[in-house]
Amino acid sequence: MTTARPESGHPDAGGHYGRYGGRFSPEALVAALDEVAAEWEKAKGDPAFQAELRELLSSYTGRPSPLTEARNFSRHAGGARILLKREDLNHTGSHKINNVLGQALLTRRMGKTRVIAETGAGQHGVATATACALLGLECVVYMGEEDTRRQALNVARMRMLGAEVVPVTIGSRTLKDAVNEAFRDWVANVEHTHYLLGTVAGPHPFPAMVRDLHYVIGAEAREQVLELTGRLPDAVAACVGGGSNAIGIFAAFIPDSEVRLYGFEAGGDGVETGRHAASITGGSPGVFQGARTYVLQDEYGQTVPSHSISAGLDYPAVGPEHAWLADTGRATYRAVTDADAMEAFRLLCRTEGIIPAIESSHALAGARAVGAELGPDATILVNLSGRGDKDVDTAARYFGLVGDAAAKGDQA
């Protein structure tokens, strides 16, 4: 199992990926950001830290996560061979735990006792509450009031794990506002608090550190695909909100120039309607929550509210490394509508007996399109970043499977 990644020269010392990334933060947080960056560099080279993290990833998370060939789903993807990287089988149900365990250990290493986090769908909040319970850290999770309603089950889960969940009632009351509120808390409590950011966004060093902690996804998958098929995949597909699962699986394949990398953003009702969360496909470069990257913004630089059926992708920006991968052409980003994602969700349930997260269903829908383009000789590695238990309510409503409509929905 690999937790280290080779040096790529990116980001630079200031956290820049080409023109993107960097650090746009209040001066008050610079000392803390520098401390996190320095401690993370030390921890990466510390065999004892790495051994403890590896042990947790294997005995607690259940890594390595398996690779599952989706032979039936393949028929709905142009006949291409579809290989699923099963991050949904990790403890707490998604890839989020990889990053959380690393940063929670780092929190303890820095001598801090309190962790704050933001969450949208609740997956990162649940993972953070879990790691804090395990390591005896105080945990406060900020969650937009709108999302606490959409994801009530995960709110209860976090509280059961001992975390305090704070509904954010200002702004658009979704993920971006939870991030703002977490930054406000951090400035005031930075002496004993670590902000356990859940994606590859924010000011340096977060995008690089969170990528390092998810590198294990791609490193495992690359070996597993080689072992199973004897060659590299033709394409790798992942969903992109902030982009942590995508960077995690892309990173190991970036040097393999023959492997196509596809990031699938949340297209909502369609990018042309303006109701979407596709920052690269439908946004423009700007500065948001600590980094220069693609942002959904109006002509005056005000953030435009995002929309997606998936709370975990409902974010108006994207990690800066994705912005750079998009501009350099190394990765291709496309938008997937709510409707196409839900169709892929339904198909995976029915053909493979796997209920995917709605987030991950965007990658599945994207893989169907790529499979149709590349044809039956192609092998596509799909990051199944999370499981859909948390989405059963949303999906049941979407497909009309509740109450009297259940029988009708059964025909769907």
Partner 1 sequence: MSTVLHTRLAEARAAGRAALIGYLPAGFPDVESSIRVVEAMVEGGCDVIEVGLPYSDPTMDGPTIQRAADRALAAGTTPREVLRVVEATAATGAAALVMSYWNPIDRYGVHRFAADLAAAGGSGVITPDLLPEEAGDWVAATDAAGLDRIFLVAPSSTDERLRLTTDACRGFVYAASLMGVTGTRAQVADTAEKLVTRTRAATAGSGLPICVGLGISTGAQAAEVAGYADGVIAGAGFCQRVLDAPDLPTALAAVRGFAEELAAGVRSAG
118 is catalytic: yes
Answer yes or no whether residue 295 interacts with partner 1 by CB under 8 A: yes
CB of 373 to partner 1, least distance (A): 36
385 is catalytic: yes
Q: Tokens 């309607």 correspond to what residue?
A: 273
Q: Which of 1, 28, 152, 226 binds partner 1 (CB under 8 A)?
A: 28
Subset of residues 173 to 192 that bind partner 1, contact rule: CB under 8 A = 176-177, 180, 183-184, 187-188, 190-191
Answer yes or no whether residue 27 interacts with partner 1 by CB under 8 A: yes
CB of 299 to partner 1, least distance (A): 7
Answer yes or no whether residue 111 interacts with partner 1 by CB under 8 A: no
The strand order across the sheet containing 81-86 reads 67-69, 81-86, 379-384, 235-240, 260-268, 331-337
96 is catalytic: yes
Answer yes or no whether residue 7 interacts with partner 1 by CB under 8 A: no
Q: Give the separation between CA 23 and CA 12, rounded to whole angstroms.
A: 12
Subset of residues 302 to 341 that bind partner 1, contact rule: CB under 8 A = 302-303
In the chain, the amino acid numbered 321 is E
Q: Is the bond preceding 64 in cis, omega lying within 30 degrees of 0?
A: yes
Answer yes or no whether residue 409 interacts with partner 1 by CB under 8 A: no
How many CA atoms, within 13 angstroms, populate the side-chain half-sphere of residue 353? 3
Residues whose CB is less than 8 angstroms from the CB of residue 153 and which lie 6 or more positions away in sequence, other chains included: 122, 390, 393
Answer yes or no whether residue 32 interacts with partner 1 by CB under 8 A: yes
C-beta closer to partner 1: residue 28 or 160: 28
Burial of 54-79, coded b for 16+ CB within 10 Å and e otherwise, reads: eebbeebbebbbebbebeebbebbbe
Among candidate residues 25, 87, 94, 96, the one labeled active-site is 96
Q: Which of 323, 326, 390 is nearest to 355 (CA)?
A: 390
Q: Give the separation between CA 190 and CA 192, rounded to whole angstroms.
A: 6
C-beta closer to partner 1: residue 188 or 402: 188
Answer yes or no whether residue 14 interacts with partner 1 by CB under 8 A: yes
Which stretches within 279-357 are classed as H helix? 279-282, 320-328, 338-352
Among candidate residues 39, 118, 220, 265, the one labeled active-site is 118
CB of 265 to partner 1, least distance (A): 20
Q: Which of 4, 38, 51, 170 binds partner 1 (CB under 8 A)?
A: 170
For residue 388, give the 3-state DSSP assignment: coil
CB of 9 to partner 1, least distance (A): 19
Q: Give the separation between CA 119 and CA 128, rounded to whole angstroms.
A: 9
Q: Which of 7, 227, 299, 404 binds partner 1 (CB under 8 A)?
A: 299
Q: Which residues here bind partner 1, judged by CB under 8 A? A: 14, 22-32, 170-171, 176-177, 180, 183-184, 187-188, 190-191, 286-289, 295, 297, 299-303
Residues annotated as part of the active site: 96, 118, 385
